[in-house]
Amino acid sequence: MLTDLKEKVWKANLDLVKYDLVTLTWGNVSGINREKGLVAIKPSGMSYEAMKPEDIVIVDLSGKVVEGKLQPSSDTPTHLELYKAFREISGVTHTHSEFAAMFAQAYREIPCLGTTHADLFKGDIPLTRMMKKEEVENDYEKNTGKVIIERFARLNPLEMPAVLVAGHSSFSWGKSPDEAVKNSLILEKVAKMALGTLCLNPECDNFPDYLLNKHYQRKHGPKAYYGQKK
């Protein structure tokens, strides 16, 4: 079942390797079929090289395995929380990509310092609060989803398709598994550029809102004019 979705999720997971976003098995991508309420996700701890499309696991929104012989990613409950809260998204990516993780570990949001950032993200990349002891010890992965959603109380997940989890690393999402992976890649590049910028100018903080909005809107607004007509 869902052969096409499994193929897309499989390919999106391989793109984590292509884009140099993962070490060993440190990342996973999922995709959702909204009509059926079913999610396709990478098996836990499996190497990207060995994985085949049929290894992708299908779970329902309660986390129950519906198809597949392997265990789904241990991060599955986080993915599911995001799908339930952010109704507009259809793909989720989790990685420990290095530069984004540096900000998450440093407890710093990634400030919007330039147009590369503004081309995708409408503002600073948000950071969750540190999770509490009880949130970590019980239902940790589900609660990881919950603190992300808490942080997005006044944010639009389509305008801000990524988050840093304090002391951990990043999640991103999009309208498809493929888009979720591309957003992870952009997050990583933006994080790297921000680190270098802050080395050169630690007080850097004056990228104007009108330039942020211009770049965001020319790619994503109602009058977007970047790219080809669809």
User: CB of residue 17 vs a second copy: minimum separation in angstroms?
Assistant: 13
> Are 102 and 195 in contact, with CB atoms under 8 Å apart?
yes
- Among 48, 119, 124, 140, which one carries the catalytic annotation? 119
Closer Cβ to a second copy, 33 or 115, answer by number:
115
Query: What gap in Å lies between CA 13 and CA 34, rounded to an integer?
Result: 20
Residue indicated by tokens 């890649």: 185
Q: Is 119 a catalytic residue?
A: yes
Token readout for 89 is 């998204």
Closer Cβ to a second copy, 27 or 157, answer by number:
27
Partnered with residue 91 across adjacent β-strands are 31, 174
Closer Cβ to a second copy, 59 or 104, answer by number:
104
Closer Cβ to a second copy, 102 or 155, answer by number:
102
Q: Is 60 a catalytic residue?
A: no
Q: Is residue 142 classed exposed, middle or buried when 0-12, 13-18 and 19+ CB atoms within 10 A define those classes?
A: middle
Q: Which residues bind a second copy (CB under 8 A)?
A: 23-24, 26, 43-46, 70-71, 74, 96, 98-99, 101-108, 113-116, 130-131, 133, 136-137, 140, 167-169, 182, 185-186, 189, 192-201, 204, 206-208, 210-211, 214, 218, 225-229
Provide the H-helix boundaries in the chain. Answer: 3-18, 76-85, 98-105, 115-118, 133-137, 140-151, 177-200, 209-220
Residue indicated by tokens 């984590």: 16
User: CB of residue 87 vs a second copy: minimum separation in angstroms?
Assistant: 27
- Among 60, 107, 205, 226, which one carries the catalytic annotation? 226
User: CB of residue 121 vs a second copy: minimum separation in angstroms?
Assistant: 14
Active-site residues: which are they? 119, 226
